[in-house]
Amino acid sequence: MNALVNQCPKLYKIKLEKNKIESLDKLKCLAGHKITKINLEGNPLVESNKEYRKELFELIPSLVSIDGIDKNGNTVESTYYGDEEDEEGFEGGEIDDEENEEIDDGEDDEDGGEEDDEEDENKPNKKPKN
């Protein structure tokens, strides 16, 4: 894991749920990094060490939440990992409507270029009716 965080200096959240992490020793390599959110649910560590959150907050001072819980024991908003609903602030996956606007290329439609919509009559590149 140390190689991963060294290769990814901007890494700030990591999902390690349902792995075989049994002790905090496996996470010491994260101590000098700017990790702010970590998910460890489903690991043996969670079951065997009831103080793991407190100890991990001390080990990694940059942490804001562990398993969706902050330092004060309050629930915080979840982190988007790709299998959850889109969160506020997540950038990506949206389609720019302007790119999907219909463009009148001046070509005749199947009905001979005559269109029923009055608003389309004001479009540039519209051929005049004969």
SS3 99: helix
The tens digit of pLDDT for each residue in 3-59 reads 877 888 899 999 999 999 999 999 999 998 899 999 999 999 999 999 999 999 999
Residue 72 clears pLDDT 80, i.e. is over it:
yes
pLDDT, greater one: 71 or 110: 71
In terms of Cβ atoms closer than 10 Å to its own Cβ (0-12, 13-18, 19+), residue 26 is: middle
> Cβ neighbours of residue 66 under 8 Å, at least 6 residues apart?
37, 38, 39, 40, 52, 53, 56, 57
* Domains of the chain and CATH, by start: 2-66 (3.80.10.10)
The tens digit of pLDDT for each residue in 82-113 reads 554 444 443 433 334 344 344 444 545 455 55
Measured distance CA(106)–CA(124) in Å, rounded:
9
CA geometry: angle at 21 spanning 18 and 25, to 5°? Answer: 155
Token readout for 50 is 């009831």
Q: Edge-to-edge strands of the sheet including 37-39? A: 13-15, 37-39, 65-66
pTM more than 0.75: no
Measured distance CA(84)–CA(22) in Å, rounded:
26
